[in-house]
């Protein structure tokens, strides 16, 4: 891809604002917090127009002036196309609320929204000379890292909890990563990655332990705003584990507002499972940080994150937007997946189903008004997850009652 004007001005600590140099490798800031990329937004406003943008391919790289890759030759791509906004008209009518849209991120190359963050982070790793990467995962992020690292010619090591969905482990290994199953949760995997940096000679790619995954996930916000004619839904419900996408979208909306392309911002809702809800607890308590959630468990493996290093950034976005955090139990998640599939023909992953269940609950409890347009995020294709085995059978050699079929 060709080079575009480059507008990154600095990196800064997400907590303290300490300025850090561009063009060198960083994990966390010197104070141990996630690092955020900042741009010359006035410069972006001067050189980019909506009309010019319309001439570019409909992919996540169309927003190059608001992205951190300096040289186009370093972009690592597998075809990161726009993802569709799918309405749910039958369920809207049933619930009596406003328009329901689903942004279906399962259409991306590795089948999940992790594609965005890892495509960007690996591209920056390539630009900065990284040759070996290690990362913990609950499944989809590991698959995305494997694909993009292999594409870039970078060695990758992925650690996952022992009960990670088999399809995620298989695709990760098949796409070139060295995969290791760990008898613990994702935070346990992360400790092994962090403690082995020197001995293993790898760069730690854990969620928010490098600055650029946020910038990849940010493209969800840039993209949906453009898809809606430079507007946003009233409410976005987002499945929240590490929270990179929620943080990134809030950053995207703030940047679009600063360059004059967005008149308003949505309310952001962090959706978690009752079996792993550290952000919900912190939001309810009015805390800036979330405590470790003990004995975390949920069928939605992607949001089973007992402790998020970017907890304060998630909570800041939720509070600044006037949003909230909500927890949904596993039975409601399973029921939501069945209902959306059966009523609308859209197969959600468990994490995506959690956002629909959260909407139903929030609508009933008055946290979302009936005139508000909402957007749910289906963060991965439902085909990656276990489904009930069909049991109905026909015997071709016996009389068949066709009327009952």
In a domain, 162, yes or no: no
Structural domain contains residue 125: no
Give the model's pLDDT for residue 370: 97
Give the CATH number for residue 262. Answer: 3.40.50.1100
Whether 169 maps to a domain, the answer reads no
**Could you tell me if residue 27 is inside a domain?**
no
Confidence of residue 387 (pLDDT cuts 50, 70, 90): confident
pLDDT of residue 127: 97
pLDDT at 12: 97
Q: Is 83's pLDDT higher than 90?
A: yes
pLDDT tens by residue, 338-352: 999 999 999 999 999
pLDDT, residue 226, reads: 97
Band (pLDDT 50/70/90 cuts) for residue 274 is very high
Supply the mean pLDDT for the chain. 95
Asked if pLDDT for residue 4 goes beyond 90, the answer is no
pLDDT-based confidence at residue 165 (cuts at 50, 70, 90)? confident
Does residue 224 register a pLDDT over 90? yes
pLDDT digits (tens, 9 = 90+) for 166-214: 999 999 999 999 999 999 999 999 999 999 988 999 999 998 999 999 9
Identify whether 102 is part of a domain. Answer: yes
- Taking the chain, what is the end-to-end CA distance rounded to the nearest angstrom? 54
Segments forming the whole domain that contains residue 247: 85-110+212-384
Question: Residue 67 above 90 pLDDT?
Answer: yes
Residues with Cβ < 8 Å from 24, sequence gap 6 or more? Answer: 128
CA 5 to each of CA 34, 119, 146: distance values in angstroms, whole numbers, following the listed order: 26, 20, 30
User: Rounded to two decimals, what is the model's pTM?
Assistant: 0.94
Give the distance from CA 67 to its chain's centroid.
Answer: 17
Identify which of 126, 88, 123, 117 has the alpha carbon closest to the alpha carbon of residue 104.
Answer: 88
Q: What angle do CA 96, 99, 105 make, to 5 degrees?
A: 130
In a domain, residue 182? The reply is no
Overall domain count for the chain:
1
pLDDT band at 357 (very low <50, low <70, confident <90, very high): very high
Residue 332 lies in a domain: yes
């Amino acid at each position: 891809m060709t080079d575009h004007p480059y507008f990154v001005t600095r990196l800064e600590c997400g907590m303290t604002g300490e300025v850090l140099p561009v063009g060198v490798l960083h994990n966390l800031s010197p104070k141990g917090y996630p690092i955020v990329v900042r741009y010359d937004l006035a410069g972006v406003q001067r050189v980019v127009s909506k009309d010019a943008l319309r001439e570019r391919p409909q992919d996540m790289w169309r927003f190059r002036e608001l992205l951190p890759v300096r040289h186009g030759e370093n972009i690592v791509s597998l075809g990161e196309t726009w993802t569709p906004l799918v309405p749910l008209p039958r369920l809207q009518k049933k619930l009596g609320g406003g328009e329901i849209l689903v942004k279906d991120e399962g259409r991306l190359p590795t089948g999940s929204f992790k594609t965005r963050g890892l495509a960007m982070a690996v591209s920056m790793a390539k630009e900065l000379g990284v040759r070996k990467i290690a990362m913990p995962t609950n499944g989809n992020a590991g698959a995305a890292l494997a694909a993009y690292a292999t594409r870039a010619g970078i060695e990758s090591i992925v650690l996952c909890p022992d009960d990670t969905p088999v399809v995620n482990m298989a695709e990760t290994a098949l796409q070139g990563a060295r995969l290791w199953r760990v008898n613990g949760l994702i935070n346990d995997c992360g400790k092994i990655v962090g403690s082995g940096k020197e001995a293993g000679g790898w760069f730690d790619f854990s969620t928010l332990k490098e600055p650029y995954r946020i910038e990849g996930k940010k493209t969800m916000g840039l993209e949906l705003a453009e898809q809606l004619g430079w507007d946003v839904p009233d409410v976005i419900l987002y499945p929240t584990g590490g929270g990179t996408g929620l943080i990134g979208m809030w950053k995207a909306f703030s940047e679009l507002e600063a360059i004059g392309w967005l008149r308003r911002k949505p309310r952001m809702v962090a959706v978690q499972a009752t079996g792993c809800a550290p952000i919900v607890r912190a939001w309810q308590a009015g805390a800036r940080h979330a405590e470790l959630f003990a004995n975390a468990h949920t069928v939605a493996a992607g949001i089973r994150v007992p402790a998020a290093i970017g907890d304060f950034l998630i909570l800041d976005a939720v509070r600044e937007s006037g949003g909230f955090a909500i927890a949904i139990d596993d039975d409601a998640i399973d029921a939501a997946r069945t209902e959306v599939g059966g009523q609308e023909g859209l197969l959600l992953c468990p994490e995506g189903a959690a956002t629909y269940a959260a909407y139903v609950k929030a609508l009933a409890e008055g946290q979302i008004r009936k005139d508000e347009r909402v957007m749910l995020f289906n963060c991965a294709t439902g085909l990656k997850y276990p489904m009930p085995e069909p049991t109905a059978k026909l015997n071709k050699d016996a009389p068949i009652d066709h009327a009952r079929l």
